[in-house]
Structure 1
Amino acid sequence: MSGLAADEDYFESLYRDSADPWGFRTRWYEQRKRALTLAALPHRRYRSALEAGCATGELAAELAGRCEHLLACDFHEGALHRARLRLAGYPQARVERRRLPQDWPDGVFELIVVSELGYYLGDRDLDELLRRARAGLGDGGVLLACHWRHRFAEAVRAGDAVHAAFAALGLPRLLRHEEPDFLLEAWSPDPTSVAAREGLSAMTDPTPSEQETR
Structure 2
Amino acid sequence: MSVATPYFDQLFAENDDPWAFRQRWYERRKRAMTLAMLTRPRYASIFEPGCANGELSFELAPRCDRLLCCDTASAAVSLARSRLLGFPHAQVQQNRLPEQWPQGQFDLIVLSELGYYLDADDLRVLIERALAGLTADGQLLACHWRSPIEGCPQTAEQVHARLEQQLGMTRVASLDDPDFLLDLWSRDGTSVARHEGLR
- Paired with 1:92 and 1:190, the residues of 2 have a C-alpha distance of 26
For 1:76, the equivalent position in structure 2 comes to 73
- Paired with 2:45 and 2:6, the residues of 1 have a C-alpha distance of 33
Q: How many residues align structurally? A: 198
- Paired with 2:47 and 2:73, the residues of 1 have a C-alpha distance of 17
For 2:123, the equivalent position in structure 1 comes to 126
1:72: how far off? 0.5
For 1:199, the equivalent position in structure 2 comes to 197
For 1:37, the equivalent position in structure 2 comes to 34
What is the TM-score of this pair, normalised by structure 2? 0.97
The CA deviation string for residues 130-179 of structure 1, in whole angstroms up to 9 with x for no partner, is 00001111111111000011112121111011000110122111111011
Percent of residue pairs bearing the same amino acid type: 52
For 1:190, the equivalent position in structure 2 comes to 188
What is the TM-score of this pair, normalised by structure 1? 0.90
The alignment partner of 2:168 has SS state of coil
Name segments (4+ residues, structure 1) moved above 4 Å: none
Would you say 1:145 and 2:145 are equivalent positions? no
The alignment partner of 1:73 has SS state of strand
The alignment partner of 2:93 has SS state of strand
Would you say 1:47 and 2:44 are equivalent positions? yes
- Paired with 1:7 and 1:60, the residues of 2 have a C-alpha distance of 23
- Paired with 1:87 and 1:24, the residues of 2 have a C-alpha distance of 15
Q: Which runs of 5+ in 1 are unaligned?
A: 202-214
**Letter paired with 1:38:** L
- Aligned alpha-carbon RMSD (Å): 1.0
For 1:176, the equivalent position in structure 2 comes to 174
